[in-house]
């Protein structure tokens, strides 16, 4: 396998940071600040270094489209993520390319088609409503842990056919440890974040192994069962290990990013009470019944605007990586084959050349009259783009809209005047203080 050297990238703007560690500590401490600082120094394209290797960072709608879509078949997601995620999410969709990715994704995509999605409306609202009813009598909560537990219950029921009433604390902790390990130094010592992630994966392997034989024998309609019964054109089925690998990846993707979105929406609504009141009024008479269709949730227009603006300011995953399969040229710079490239969505989402007052919380930028996201294709990409575009974004939208509507029907949410949530950028966005949220029953 060819290896890129510093000499190969000497013509790319940027610096290499500290010996061995490179920019690791700056990146982990505040990735947003780090990227913005480097961009001011070097422009839309610059090189960086970490203990896992060197990379070239790119931003902007043209780069998003070029790397993820136009050059999609000439880049590798697997090789780009292998060093950081290979031990934590082996055989996850992010670590697949080509025909393998196409086949596995096609099976997983079955869970997000029209009929299954409609079926989720029979399950999801009750779980979300019951979870929010449990807040009765509470004046203050930590929003992020609350939403993580709530979305995990939905994912466990919808995707794995598990009883949402069972205690999922250990499962939640295992997923959290794995996610945190993905941005940690790969040090396998007791109590290190990376080792906690490895242990979390072992726990989930054993957890799903106990359920798998029964699910193979008596499959239901959940995603777990679909994995157990899926066959390719030659009649081959997933092995037990392949099923477990997919389940662990889906468990992370299905509830962590949605919990982040709900948490940060709560933060913005608590700070912007005019929008909170507007969403409460919009959803006051909205009820999911047996007659409700998935498309009916689009009538929650203001909710959609706030969700989009939250994802613009704080996309849960701020960057994706690819390894180049051939030389490419962007902005008159040639990036050589075998280079690892990081496409940073967040920098594009905050680019004042695309967005009016990008630092301002302004959901109306997404309304039909302004539609700032349409003025520059690929300038807004919170769910990625191309072959690896998030397949569960519609499911996440359902959960967010129903969950937030249920919460605002029952409570006014506030944060202290002047409060600013300290945001951790990697591995996924989340408030460092778990977002203390004050509740006032309506």
User: Which of the four pLDDT bands, split at 50, 70 and 90, describes residue 13?
Assistant: very high
- Identify whether 141 is part of a domain: yes
Decide: 440 and 412 in contact? Cβ < 8 Å.
yes
1, pLDDT greater than 60: no
Q: Is the pLDDT score of 439 beyond 60?
A: yes
b/e burial code for range 282-314 (CB count within 10 A of at least 16 → b) = bbeebebeeebebeebeebebbbbbbbbbbbbb
Confidence at residue 227, expressed as pLDDT on a 0 to 100 scale: 86
pLDDT tens, 22-76?
999 999 999 999 999 999 999 999 999 999 899 999 998 888 899 999 999 999 9
Q: What is the pLDDT of residue 2?
A: 61
CA distances from residue 332 to 15, 102, 328 in whole angstroms, order as listed: 19, 33, 10
Does residue 164 have a pLDDT over 90?
A: no
Average pLDDT over residues 354-371: 97
Query: What is residue 236's predicted lDDT score, i.e. its pLDDT?
Result: 78
Residue 322 has pLDDT above 70, yes or no: yes
The more confidently predicted of residues 193 and 290 is 193
The predicted pLDDT at position 243 comes to 92
Residue with tokens 């993520």: 81
Total domains in the fold of the chain: 1
Let me know if residue 1 belongs to a domain. no
Asked if residue 277 has pLDDT above 50, the reply is yes
Q: What is the CATH number of the domain that holds 195?
A: 1.10.630.10
* Predicted pLDDT of residue 409: 97
Tell me which residue has tokens 């934590």.
Answer: 88
pLDDT tens for each residue of 83-117? 899 999 998 999 999 999 998 888 888 888 898 89
Over residues 267-285, the mean pLDDT reads: 97
Q: Is the backbone peptide bond immediately before 427 cis, with ω within 30 degrees of 0? A: yes
Which position has the token pair 């205690």?
167
| 2 part of a folded domain | no
CA–CA distance, 225 with 243 (Å, rounded to integer): 10
Is position 374 within any domain? yes
**Tens of pLDDT along 388-422?**
999 889 999 999 999 999 999 999 999 999 999 99
Of 13-17, 289-293, 365-369, the one with minimum mean pLDDT is 289-293
Domain membership of residue 174 (yes or no) is: yes
Domain that holds residue 17: 7-441
Find the mean pLDDT for residues 417-436.
Answer: 96
Determine which of 15-19, 103-107, 336-340 has the lowest per-residue pLDDT on average: 103-107
pLDDT per residue over 138-162, tens digit each? 999 999 999 999 999 999 998 888 8
* 135 falls within a domain: yes
What is residue 396's predicted lDDT score, i.e. its pLDDT? 93
């Amino acid at each position: 396998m060819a290896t890129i050297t510093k000499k190969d990238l000497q013509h790319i703007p940027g610096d290499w940071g500290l010996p061995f560690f490179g920019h690791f500590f700056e990146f982990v401490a505040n990735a947003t600040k780090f990227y913005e600082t480097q961009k001011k120094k070097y422009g839309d394209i610059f090189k960086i270094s970490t203990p896992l290797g060197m990379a070239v960072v790119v931003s902007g709608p043209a780069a998003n489209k070029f790397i993820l879509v136009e050059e999609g078949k000439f880049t590798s997601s697997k090789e780009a993520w292998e060093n950081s995620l290979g031990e934590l999410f082996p055989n996850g969709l992010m670590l697949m390319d080509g025909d393998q990715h196409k086949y596995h994704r096609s099976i997983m995509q079955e869970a997000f088609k029209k009929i299954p999605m409609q079926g989720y409306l029979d399950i999801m609202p009750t779980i979300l409503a019951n979870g929010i009813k449990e807040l009765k009598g509470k004046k203050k909560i930590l929003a992020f842990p609350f939403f993580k537990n709530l979305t995990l219950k939905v994912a466990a029921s919808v995707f794995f056919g598990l009883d949402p009433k069972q205690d999922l604390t250990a499962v939640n902790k295992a997923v959290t440890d794995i996610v945190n390990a993905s941005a940690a130094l790969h040090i396998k010592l007791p109590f290190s974040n990376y080792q906690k992630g490895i242990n979390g994966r072992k726990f989930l392997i054993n957890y799903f192994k106990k359920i798998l034989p029964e699910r193979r024998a008596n499959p239901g309609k959940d995603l777990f069962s679909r994995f157990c019964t899926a066959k390719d054109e030659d009649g081959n089925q997933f092995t037990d290990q392949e099923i477990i690998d997919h389940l662990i990846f889906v468990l992370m993707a299905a509830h962590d990013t949605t919990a982040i979105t709900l948490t940060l929406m709560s933060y913005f609504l608590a700070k912007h009470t005019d929008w909170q009141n507007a969403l409460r009024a919009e959803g006051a008479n909205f009820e999911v019944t047996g007659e409700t269709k998935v498309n009916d949730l689009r009538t929650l227009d203001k909710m959609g605007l706030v969700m989009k603006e939250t994802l613009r300011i704080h996309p849960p995953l701020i960057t994706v990586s690819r390894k180049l399969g051939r030389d490419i040229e962007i902005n008159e710079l040639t990036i050589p084959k075998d280079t690892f490239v990081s496409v940073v969505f967040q920098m594009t989402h905050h680019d004042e050349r695309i967005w009016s007052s990008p630092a301002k919380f302004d959901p109306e930028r997404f309304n039909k009259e302004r539609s700032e996201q349409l003025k520059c294709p690929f300038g807004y990409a919170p769910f990625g783009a191309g072959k690896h575009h998030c397949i569960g974004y519609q499911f996440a939208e359902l959960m967010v809209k129903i969950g937030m509507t249920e919460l605002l029907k029952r409570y006014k949410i506030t944060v202290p005047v002047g409060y600013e949530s300290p945001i951790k950028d990697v591995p996924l966005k989340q408030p460092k203080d778990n977002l203390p949220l004050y509740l006032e029953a309506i």
